[in-house]
Amino acid sequence: MPRPATVGRLSLGVKPMPKRRDARRLASAVATALVALAVCCPLGAAEVADSVGEGRLLYRVHCAGCHGESGRGDGVASERLEEPPPDLSRIRERHAGEFPRAKVAEIIDGRRRSAAHGGRAMPVWGLTFQTPGLDSDQEGDVRGRITALTRYLETLQQPSSEP
Ligand code: HEC
């Protein structure tokens, strides 16, 4: 019978006070791995749930300020905008019951639309999500974020019968 786990055992043999240099090296290895993962791999179907979770986080950080937590257009900054942000929880309703994924992704991205439509109040996320000075192709990462946001927005849609 193994003895009940102690704090020492739970630490899995890692020395209680690792050298700072080691900790820094580990942190930078983890950061490099995460960047590589985000840049290299487009999302597969099995990762849709993760993608919605990522979309939720991105939404809270980048979008809720204008569009509101639930997407209804009541974010704290919305009053200061000339054009009120549209209710993102009724996109499906406005499109005859079909959530237009490709169109929504294109609006969020904004790189193709902004030139054709003049200025827009919303940032061009396809550019904003790029990391300046990162010397690698960021397109996969940018598209991954936009896909995650699109999937998350789809989960916010209200049934059309609601007032
Ligand atoms: C500065 C305020 C602001 C922020 C931040 C913002 N938006 Fe917007 N958004 C707007 C406004 C205003 C519009 C109306 C179109 C325009 O003028 O750009 C809009 C339009 C949209 C539309 C089109 C809706 C429709 O039915 O036509 C989508 C989708 C959207 N935003 C998603 C997002 C997402 C996702 C984020 C975060 C990554 C975000 N927005 C962040 C202000 C904002």
Cβ-count burial 88-121 (b if 16+ within 10 Å, e if not): bbbbbbeeeeebeeeebbbbbbbeeebeeeeeee
45-155: CATH class = mainly alpha
Kindly report the protein residue whose alpha carbon is nearest to atom 12 of ligand 1. 85
User: 8 pLDDT exceeds 50?
Assistant: no
DSSP string, 52-65: HHHHHHHHHHHTHH
| Contacts of residue 88, Cβ cutoff 8 Å, sequence gap at least 6 | 63, 67, 71, 72, 73, 153, 156
User: Kind and range of the H or E element at 96?
Assistant: none
pLDDT in tens, 91-103: 999 999 999 999 9
- Pocket, ligand 1, Cβ cutoff 6 A: 62-63, 65-67, 77, 81, 83, 85-86, 88, 91, 104, 107-108, 120-122, 125, 149
Contact 15, 119 (CB under 8 A): no
Query: Beta strands of the chain (E only): which ranges?
Result: none
Rounded-to-integer distance, Cα 141 and Cα 38, Å: 6
Identify the burial level of 62 via C-beta atoms within 10 angstroms of its C-beta, where 0-12 means exposed, 13-18 middle and 19 or more buried.
middle
For the question of whether the overall pTM of this predicted structure is more than 0.85, the answer is no
pLDDT in tens, 40-85: 455 566 677 889 999 999 999 999 999 999 999 888 888 888 888 9
pLDDT in tens, 22-36: 767 767 766 665 555
Helix (H, G, I), strand (E, B) or coil at 30: helix
Instruction: Give the number of the atom of ligand 1 that is nearest the alpha carbon of residue 152.
Output: 35
**157 CA distance to ligand 1 centroid (A)?**
15
Rounded-to-integer distance, Cα 69 and Cα 108, Å: 17
Kindly report the protein residue whose alpha carbon is nearest to atom 42 of ligand 1. 122
Domain residue limits, the chain: 6-40, 45-155
User: Which one of 52, 63, 150 would you pick to mutate in the ligand 1 pocket, going by the greatest count of ligand atoms within 8 A of its CB?
Assistant: 63
Q: Which residue has the higher pLDDT, 14 or 126?
A: 126
pLDDT in the model for residue 148: 97
**51 CA distance to ligand 1 centroid (A)?**
20
